[in-house]
Structure 1
Amino acid sequence: MGSLARFFRSVAHDRRWWWALLVINFLGSLYGFYWYWPQLSQTPYARWFIVPDSPGATFLLTIWLGLMLAGLDWRRPGMQLLGAVAFVSNMKYGLWTAVVLPQAGIKYGWEFDFVHLTLSHLGMWVQGLLFARHYRPEAPAAGLALAWLLVQDLVDYHLWMTHPTLPYPAEFAFARGAAVTLSAIWGTFLLAQGLLGRKAAAG
């Protein structure tokens, strides 16, 4: 096992890293909810749960890490479902931001927010993928997580238009396409991983 693989394994299994990531994700979630406040303040309360995509993802991972630190078994169905949604949401929204903002920066000019949000959201993608690989949700939980991502896209870009505020409204079609594509890619990845794990266990 290479040094990088050992490092990632340590992050995935060492409680000290869990504590560090819990704090980082909690603080990042608070900042994200603050960033979303202008949009939330103009959104009916009943729809708030669907609006803050990235901070919602990091907050779910914060809860999952807290439950892991409290000693809950990650194999329990509830923990698998929570983990599946948290992992795949971090993977999706981490890369969504890291695609949409650079695309806007290249097209219209870079802003400071484009840089720091892109870098921090790439961290979301890395941690989501890391935990998804080491704590693989089984197919039922992964399937529900995929369904949730697709429901979010339907609501965000068609029914309620609760998608994140875009720096340039003209990029709506690109942002929507990126969201749906990433939902399909990472949701299918998680589901395929769960199905393959079931076959390996059966074999």
Structure 2
Amino acid sequence: MTFLYYFLRDRTILKLLFIVNILGTIYGYIWYQYQLVETEPQFLLFVPDSPTASLFFVFVLLAFLLRKNWGLVEAFAIVTLFKYGIWAVVMNVLLLLIEGNLHWTGYMLIISHGAMAVQGLLYAPFYRIKGWHLTAAAIWTLHNDVIDYVFRQMPRYGVLDIYYQPIGYFTFWLSIVSIFIAYIYGMKNKRMSM
């Protein structure tokens, strides 16, 4: 484990992850562009879920590069990276099972979103999350579920749109699990210095 922590703290690795996450965030917002032009202004902040999660992590990495901790952003990052990372993997696997095939971008989304979830957890020992940070991230995340599944602003996945109610139910519980994971790994874990 000591090697892993040394590796994660390496400034070259941090810079590489910073660049990769910036590029992934940009791609994510481009992926949402067609949905965003049709979105009512009051929902705009809550529609692009995954790129916003990776944007939170960009700021976490920036703080680490500056040798700082921004606990509030760290709380938002761990909750949303895990949630939307796992969510996108599950949705793309469901799409593959229902349609029998998946465009190459679907496989890319499985890999990239799986990596989102993992990176959020790998850096958890370095986070400095307080109770109010996690409370704010939990409110944001659960509010986002309401926007997505009550106001029908969830990401569009073609044939999966007809299953929005069970997907909404799954998403709610994934949010709860993500918040719990952030509590265990982001608040109760042994703190490592960056």
What's the TM-score once normalised by structure 1's chain length?
Answer: 0.84
One-letter amino acid matched to 1:36:
Y
Pair 40,196 (structure 1): closer, same or farther in 2 beyond 3 Å: same
Higher relative contact order (CA 8 A, sep 6+): 2
Pair 196,64 (structure 1): closer, same or farther in 2 beyond 3 Å: closer
Q: Deviations over 1:79-128 (max 9, x none)?
A: 10111101210110000011111012112222123211111100000001
- Cα distance between partner residues in 2 of 1:88 and 1:141: 11
**Contact 1:12–1:134 (CA under 8 A) maintained in structure 2:** no
Q: Does 1:58 align with 2:54?
A: yes
Gaps of 5+ in 1: none
> Which residue is equivalent to 1:126?
118
One-letter amino acid matched to 2:23:
L
Q: Does 1:166 align with 2:162?
A: no
How many percent of aligned residue pairs carry the same amino acid?
A: 29
Pair 134,110 (structure 1): closer, same or farther in 2 beyond 3 Å: farther
**Contact 1:100–1:174 (CA under 8 A) maintained in structure 2:** no
> Which residue is equivalent to 1:152?
144
- Cα distance between partner residues in 2 of 1:127 and 1:51: 22
- Cα distance between partner residues in 1 of 2:107 and 2:80: 21
**Contact 1:136–1:193 (CA under 8 A) maintained in structure 2:** no
> Which residue is equivalent to 1:181?
173
Pair 174,136 (structure 1): closer, same or farther in 2 beyond 3 Å: farther
From 35, 54, 67, give the equivalent of 1:39.
35
Pair 192,106 (structure 1): closer, same or farther in 2 beyond 3 Å: same
> Which residue is equivalent to 1:111?
102
Task: Quote how far apart the aligned CAs of 1:157 are.
Answer: 0.7
> Which residue is equivalent to 2:135?
143
Written as runs of structure 1 = structure 2, the 5 A alignment for 1:10-89 is 10-71=6-67, 73-74=68-69, 79-89=70-80
Task: Quote how far apart the aligned CAs of 1:60 are.
Answer: 1.3
- Cα distance between partner residues in 1 of 2:185 and 2:135: 11
**Contact 1:146–1:188 (CA under 8 A) maintained in structure 2:** no
One-letter amino acid matched to 2:26:
L
Task: Quote how far apart the aligned CAs of 1:197 are.
Answer: 5.7
Pair 107,20 (structure 1): closer, same or farther in 2 beyond 3 Å: same
Q: Deviations over 1:150-199 (max 9, x none)?
A: 111011111x321111221223123212311211001012224466469x
- Cα distance between partner residues in 2 of 1:31 and 1:92: 19
What's the TM-score once normalised by structure 2's chain length?
Answer: 0.88
CA RMSD across the alignment:
2.1
One-letter amino acid matched to 2:35:
Q
Question: 1:58 aligns to what SS in structure 2?
Answer: helix
